[in-house]
Amino acid sequence: MYVGELKRVIFGYAADVRQYLSGDKADYVYCEQHSEEWGTSDKNYARRMRLCYALYYNVCEVPDKAALVRELFEEELKDRETNSFQGIGDNLEMLTSMLVELGEPLKSELFVRTKNANFDCACGYEPRVIKPVPLDEFTPYECIYTLSDLGETECACRLTDEFKSGELNLKGLKQVKSIAKWHTKRPGDKEYAATKIYELFQKSPEMFDEQDVFYAVYDYAETLLEKSETANALSVFNEHKERLSWNKRSFYTLGARLIEDGADTSERIWADILPHINTDMKNGMVAPANRDVLLAAAERAGDTRTAKKLRKYFDKKEKERQKIFK
């Protein structure tokens, strides 16, 4: 089912190739866009990916494939040179592989320019042939994330629902967690993964290493908080303090969120997390992003002294940030 859907979609991109070759290129060439969250990016990245996959898997005949690939490569390079998140990306890897296979010299000016496109390219980009993985060998997880990357959200969500309906082991549940975070971004998928992983941990703790245990407990407690089940989240927190403290920053941030959300025994929670906050504050490691939640927790716990120290700490961090970006 999964591979069949992936094949149907990718072979359907022959229509995109024909559209581009007809001269109707606006949906596929570089189109700069800006947002507060992502900075500068390319509006047409996913659409250009359709052409990359179509060409990479030879879904249709192309009169002059080398010229088409080179043209798309130059459009992709504009994104690599301007994208706020930099990166190399699947599009560039596929286009590079095809260009090399079609005879582009490894030391061509185009590849030299690409190597200098951004920091990530400077560190990790190398022109080479990467043989495509046969579509029949894609796992269900690979099918879902590929379809999501291609912008086929409806199809990816449908396959995710099918994937969740099966019997999943820890690896499969971690894949649902990844799919929820990076692809479907549906709260229901995140809740499903967090709940099932925690239930599996409760049933078979021997399957979990120390890191797995932390995330099983933390993700479940966070899910309960997001559902406004503060009392239940507090119970998980109290039952697994030692396990949660494996990651001290997440531990004290979770505790502060519980206090902010009105959990009972706020003074007790604050006493549990305060030593870790003080250690990080001393070492300059408390994240400015946690300013509001930590200050709110300190005040609700009645610790005005630490609240004052935290304000001073965060004000200093902000001044340092302004100096850097001035």
Digits of tens for pLDDT over the chain (326 positions)? 999 999 999 999 999 999 999 999 999 999 999 998 889 999 999 999 999 999 999 999 999 999 999 999 999 999 999 999 999 999 999 999 999 999 999 999 999 999 999 999 999 999 999 999 999 999 999 999 999 999 999 999 999 999 999 999 999 999 999 999 999 999 999 999 999 999 999 999 999 999 999 999 999 999 999 999 999 999 999 999 999 999 999 999 999 999 999 999 999 999 999 999 999 999 999 999 999 999 999 999 999 999 999 999 999 999 998 887 66
> String of b and e for 173-188 (b: at least 16 CB within 10 Å)?
bbbbbebbeebbeeee
Give the separation between CA 273 and CA 265, rounded to whole angstroms. Answer: 13
Confirm whether 163 is domain-assigned: no
What is the pTM for the complete model shown?
Answer: 0.91
Residue 179 lies in a domain: no
- Determine the structural domain holding residue 316 and report its residue range: 209-325
Burial readout 133-165 (b: 16 or more C-beta within 10 A, e: otherwise): eebeebebbbbbbbbbbbebeebbbebbeebbe
Residue 325: the pLDDT is: 66
Q: How far apart are CA 216 and CA 218, in angstroms?
A: 6
Task: Count other C-beta atoms under 10 Å from residue 323's C-beta.
Answer: 8
Domain final residue pick, 101, 132, 163: 132
* Domain total of the chain: 2
Check whether residue 17 and residue 128 sit in a common domain: yes
Which of 201, 194, 198 has its CA nearest to residue 179? 194
Is 255 a domain residue? yes
Q: Which of 132, 162, 178 is the last residue of a domain?
A: 132
Is there a domain that residue 165 lies in?
no
Question: Which residue type occupies 49?
Answer: M
- Domain membership of residue 272 (yes or no) is yes
Query: Are 40 and 33 within 8 A, CB to CB?
Result: yes
Tokens coding 209? 């290493």
Is 240 part of any domain?
yes
Query: Rounded to 5, what percent of the chain is helix, strand, coil?
Result: 70, 0, 25
Phi, psi of 42 (to 5 degrees): -110, 115
pLDDT of residue 106: 96
Inter-axis angle of helices 187-203 and 210-226, nearest 10 = 130
